[in-house]
Amino acid sequence: MKKQSMNRDWIATARTLSEALPFLQRYDGATVVIKFGGNAMGDNEAMASFARDIVLMRHVGVNPVVVHGGGPMINEMLTRLNIKSHFENGKRITDAAVVEVVEMVLSGRVNKRIVQAINAEGGKAVGLSGKDANLMICEQTDPALGFVGTPLDMDPSILRTLFDDETIPVIAPIGAGRDGETFNINGDTAAGAIAAALKADRLLLLTDVEGVKNAQGDILTELSATQIRELTEDGTIAGGMIPKTETALAAIEGGVRAVVILDGRAPNACLLELYTEHGAGSIIRA
């Protein structure tokens, strides 16, 4: 009986691989930018699972780019160093002391942990920040927020060089100013700007929710830019979902083919989205 059960499992696995073939062909050579954050970053098992998915994508011909956040780790380090940090309308006010810690945590601890996880699963990853090779030159978003930046000029040539070497870029959302400043960039904003600069096939925004919901609480699996604007105007899209949909719209206007907002807590979320008929989360097209 046990042997029959095992045979059924292997047959199901083989069928799944066979059904994935059209999607493997569709994304061969595609560029996919993944914003990674949330609960999975603090969980070793979830981190390893995410890393395996990224390595698999690279092995089947996708050019993945990982952009990460790290808010909880920044908060932890600020507390440890007894540096006070305040928020205004959900955005961190970043003074000179805070931005030093932000860069240290994001470009150091968090970035290298993700790089190490990908390399441990057989990939070849390299950690960068927006400062490297002038990837992201920023302007100050709002003087009231301090050293918080908005990407202004993008130079993704270093990423294309890494693609040619079959290397996976892992990017910390830290940018440089024209006068030598260091800017903290919202992770979603950085991912959207990078995806637009690369004219990516997909931008995957991994979150802690299942996707965009309608007024009844149902997941909307496919949306247009027009629908996003209408749902925002009538208040259906609210709170933390607004910046994610704004990032999606900006990315699409910048040339990204489609953006998907999906639940990063779900096992193999990226693979489900790219390589199954059902997909995952909410896809937004122009």
**What pLDDT is recorded for position 214?**
79
Model confidence at 45: pLDDT above 60: yes
Residue type, 141: T
pLDDT-derived band of residue 3, with 50, 70 and 90 as boundaries? low
Q: Which pLDDT value is given to residue 252?
A: 95
Question: So what's the pLDDT on residue 225?
Answer: 87
Taking the C-alpha atoms of residue 174 and residue 114, their distance in angstroms, rounded to an integer, is: 16
Q: Which residue matches tokens 């470009």?
A: 107
**Half-sphere exposure at residue 95, Cβ-oriented, CA atoms within 13 angstroms:** 7
Domain residue limits, the chain: 21-285
Residue 1 has pLDDT above 60, yes or no: no
- Token pair for residue 82? 């007894």
At residue 140, the pLDDT reads 96
Name the most confidently modeled range: 46-50, 190-194, 210-214. 190-194
Q: What is the pLDDT of residue 94?
A: 92
pLDDT of residue 279: 67
Q: Any idea which fold 21-285 has?
A: Carbamate kinase (3.40.1160)
- Residue at token pair 């942990």: 113
CB-neighbour burial class of residue 128 (10 A; exposed 0-12, middle 13-18, buried 19+): buried
Please, are residues 37 and 172 in contact by the beta-carbon 8 Å criterion?
no
- Segment 9-36, tens digit of pLDDT: 666 666 666 676 777 778 789 999 999 9
Confidence of residue 224 (pLDDT cuts 50, 70, 90): confident
Question: What is this structure's pTM?
Answer: 0.90
Asked if pLDDT for residue 259 goes beyond 90, the answer is yes
Give per-residue pLDDT as tens, 133-187. Answer: 999 999 999 999 999 999 999 999 999 999 999 999 999 999 999 999 999 999 9
Q: Are 243 and 15 in contact (CB under 8 A)?
A: no
Report which of residues 78 and 221 the model is more confident about.
78
pLDDT for 142: 92
Quote the CA–CA distance of 196 and 256 in Å, as a whole number. Answer: 5
**pLDDT beyond 90 at 219:** no
State the pLDDT at residue 187. 93
Average pLDDT over residues 211-228: 84
What does pLDDT average to over the chain?
89
Region of poorest pLDDT, from 79-93, 115-129, 134-148: 79-93
Compute, in degrees rounded to 10, the torsion defined by CA atoms 210, 211, 214, 220: -110
**Could you tell me which residues come within 8 angstroms of residue 240 by beta carbon, excluding any fewer than 6 positions away?**
90
